[in-house]
Structure 1
Amino acid sequence: MPAIRLTKRSIDAIESPASGQILYRDSDLIGFGLRVGTKTKVFYAEAQVKRRTIRVTIGKYGTTTPEVARKRAMEILSEMANGNDPRSEEITGADLTVKGAFDEFFNRRPLAKSSQFNYERTVRVYLKDWADKPIIEISRRMVLDRHKWLSDKNGAYTANTVMRHLRSVYNFTAAAYDDIPPNPVSILTQARAWNKERRRRSVIPVHGLPDWWQAVHEEDDSVRDFLIVALLTGMRRSEIARLRWDCIDLDGRILTVPRTKNGDPLQLPLSTYLYELLLSRRDQMPDEEWVFPGDGVTGHLVETKRFYNRVKERCGIAFTLHDLRRTFVTVAESMDVPHYALKRLLNHRSDGDVTGGYIIMDVERLRKPVEKVAQQILELVGGR
């Protein structure tokens, strides 16, 4: 561990290593040091507290001067000499690893289970080798290189998603701590390096709906009803799978999803057809907790791919559940359902729309559009 007097001139003269990091200790103040990585130089204070070596990050050189860092080191070392661990009282952004920043993001910002799973996958799989790096050492060049590597290996969409996750976590960390440099992911925007993504636009074609409907009705009641609910509400797969009976008011003919993808609750009126379908299911399973029960540990239906494939083979139409959502909204738009009613039915926010912010869309105002769309879909499938 080299020993030098840590001044601006001496620090500027230190060359960054090609990889890893080098620790320099101050020749005057024992316990005061500088950690030099490939991209950053960070001041620290180190001493033993209760027979354990404790290292406390002070700040990044450039935003923290050597004089300020030395003074802070003296305060920290004095506290440690009294047997106190300063880390329990003060944590800086420079202390956070990439994994630590993701963990703090999860702790302070509740996410839907599916969203948290995707964020965790990002740091566990695609940024695994960065997990223990200080987040302030993630450079713009590293972001560009990793994005390109992921694009080639895992595809354009995955590369963009990983970097969006990192950008969100980094922005959150920068808002919580004062010593975080600008977000390195911004280089993808500045360099116009984001991959172009083609949004899926597939729906079940109108001429194919009768055959699809017939194929669905050859499944057992649970699968049939699951797919019909998807087509007549436009709800997401996880929202339908996790429907509980206590979220369905059959007397008021209202379905409630307490938590959706964007975090907002969703209330939908039930069309006549859907009301009768759910009433029949309730009569068949009066003591069941879930509308669509399953055999797994969750208690509700989870695996859906197999019955998608069976229906596809019968009718010859490839589809996903999100295609049913797009089919629902396409039919609704063709029936001239008002724009704001359409957004509410899909539970899309109107935060960026000033006018939309003034419109309160009560569930009863959605009842007529829902009935209208359901009747049109039933006509399209041949009135079956």
Structure 2
Amino acid sequence: MKITKSFVDKVELPPLDENGKQAQVFYRDEALRGFALRVTSGGSKSFIVEKRIDGKVKRKTLGKYGQITAEQARKLAQNFLGEVAFGRNPIAEKNDKKAKNITLEQSFNDYIRARKDLKASTEKEYRRQLNSSFGDWKNKPLVSISKNMVEKRHSELGAKGEANANGAMRVLRAIFNHAINKYEDSNGQPIIQINPVARLSHNRAWYPTKRRQTIIRPHELNAWYKATLQLNQPVTRAYLHFVLLTGLRLTEAAQLRWQDVDIKGLSFTIPDTKNNRPHTLPITEAIYDTLKILKANKRNEWVFPSPLHDSHLKEPRTAVKRVCDLSGIKFTIHDLRRTFITIAESLDISAYALKRLLNHKDPNDVTAGYIISDIERLREPMDRISTTICKHLNSVNV
């Protein structure tokens, strides 16, 4: 048959298949080989063209009936077949063009979908960097972002904040690394050949990282502790003590749930950690006393509930500032973790026990894989650390 308006109007829809799913039927034009009409049981009628290219049959949808006419579809099919006859591959060319026009934002979204292990907080930070540092680049094709552009933007960001500039470029580098391996042309060659952020390493343009080393020194802990006792929020006060006594990271401690606390077994578990490895620690006497008070005033599932909403405590910046003002000791929440580590190291805690207590994972340390540090083996070093901290606080019961 010849595919005409009359034929398309009259063609019947195929019935559903034996499983009740939509079926499709192809009607091929007798005058123009490769031109066809595809009809589905759902009522869709589309024009297509088929042609063997490089040994494989390629099919291209020309358009739906109603959006284009049968004659318009025939002309499109003739143009397509003509291009193939002259040695071109219109489908591959279209796909290559589409790949080369992938924007920074599209690539970012592909990267996020591919990173199944990415934490929500990390994704949020990456999106912030995309919007704040590269907002004017989001709709630019990746191939148009050059090494010179990257170098200039890094310098511009660095004038406002060196750490943020480095962080933004690490995000951009990750996006490009993912794109290099994901987007290919019809010949299997990468659309993105180089990572432009590599210019920073080549020119040694990264800003030097100044790692914070501040702690609360032992002789300052008593004044710090007395200041925390003056806080009006008992949950916030207990939270600060808990972080100091456990060495946990800010968010890991704040997100602790009662279901992960085993009072009878004297242990607790942080299931969601920075390195994605559950972290179980023993409960010492001082930690037990803190948890017992919180348990008696339990409001919801969180050990440290927020005073403002039905969730866990957020970073208590107001409370930290209050303690700083009262004690005269400047500190951050992470300084409490560093203080825990410093005291632990002063007690000659074994390196493997210390790693386990801090939930540090070194993929290059094969020896650690053969040493099993269960909860009971950590109890003795944890007790020693807790006792020493409490002595400095000048109070056994924290």
Residue 279 of structure 1 deviates from its aligned partner by 2.1
1:366 aligns to 2:373 (yes or no): no
Distance change >3 Å, CA 227–CA 192, structure 1 → 2: same
Point out the more displaced range, 226-235 or 342-351. Answer: 342-351
C-alpha distance in structure 2 between counterparts of 1:333 and 1:189, whole Å: 34
Aligned match of 1:116: 123
* 2:255 is the alignment partner of 1:242: yes
Question: What is the CA–CA distance in structure 2 between the aligned matches of 1:233 and 1:155, rounded to whole Å?
Answer: 32
Indicate how the Cα distance of structure 1 residues 75 and 333 shifts in structure 2: closer, same or farther if over 3 A, else same: same
Cα 1:377–1:299 change in 2 (3 A) is: same
1:265-322 alpha-carbon deviations (Å, 9 max, x no partner)? 211111121022212321222x521111114455221241000011111100011000
Question: What is aligned with 2:245?
Answer: 232
Question: Could you say which residue in structure 1 is the equivalent of 2:322?
Answer: 310
CA shift, 1:147, in A, is: 0.6
Corresponding residue for 1:335? Answer: 347
Match of 1:258 among 244, 247, 271: 271
- TM-score, normalised by the number of residues in structure 2: 0.73
Matched, 1:134 2:146: no
Equivalent residue for 1:106, pick from 93, 109, 112:
112
CA distance in 2, matches of 1:302, 1:75: 52
Judge which range, 202-211 or 130-139, deviates more: 130-139
Residue matched to 1:354: 366
2:351 & 2:97 partners in 1: Cα distance? Answer: 48
Letter aligned with residue 148 of structure 2: R
Output the CA distance in 1 between the equivalents of 2:144 and 2:394.
62
Correspondent of 1:223 among 217, 220, 236: 236
Q: Which amino acid aligns with 2:283?
A: L
Partners in 1 of 2:62 and 2:136 — Cα distance? 30
For residues 159-218 of structure 1, the C-alpha deviation after alignment (integer angstroms, 9 at most, x for no partner) is 100001111122122223342212111111111110012100000011111000111112
Contact 1:92 1:177 in 2 (8 A): no
What one-letter code is carried by the residue in structure 1 that aligns with 2:176?
Answer: Y
Q: Letter of the aligned partner of 1:107 in structure 2?
A: R
In terms of mean alpha carbon deviation, does 186-195 or 130-139 score higher? 130-139
Give the length in aligned residue pairs. Answer: 312
Report the Cα offset of residue 235 of structure 1: 0.9
**Can you give the 5+ residue segments of structure 1 that lack an aligned partner in the other structure?**
1-45, 53-66, 78-85
1:350–1:357 CA contact under 8 A, matched in 2: no
Aligned to 2:164: 158
**Structure 2 counterpart SS, 1:106:** helix
The answer to whether the 8 Å contact 1:93/1:173 transfers is no
* Structure (1 or 2) with the larger CA radius of gyration: 2
Matched residue SS, 2:281? strand
Query: Cα RMSD (Å) of the superposition?
Result: 2.6
CA shift at 1:95, angstroms? Answer: 4.2
Letter of the 2:90 counterpart: M
| Deviation for aligned residue 1:350 | 1.2
Shift, 1:94, TM fit? 2.8
Report SS of the residue matched to 1:256: strand
SS in 1 for 2:126: helix
Do the aligned residues in 1 keep the contact of 2:218 with 2:392 (CA within 8 Å)? yes
> What is the TM-score with the length of structure 1 in the denominator?
0.75
- Inter-CA distance 213–295: structure 2 relative to 1 (3 Å threshold): closer
CA distance in 2: counterparts of 1:218 and 1:353, whole angstroms: 44
Give the direction of change, closer, same or farther, for the CA distance of 1:75–1:264 in structure 2 (3 Å limit).
same
SS at match of 2:362: coil
**Tell me, which stretches of 5 or more residues in structure 2 are unaligned?**
1-59, 69-82, 185-189
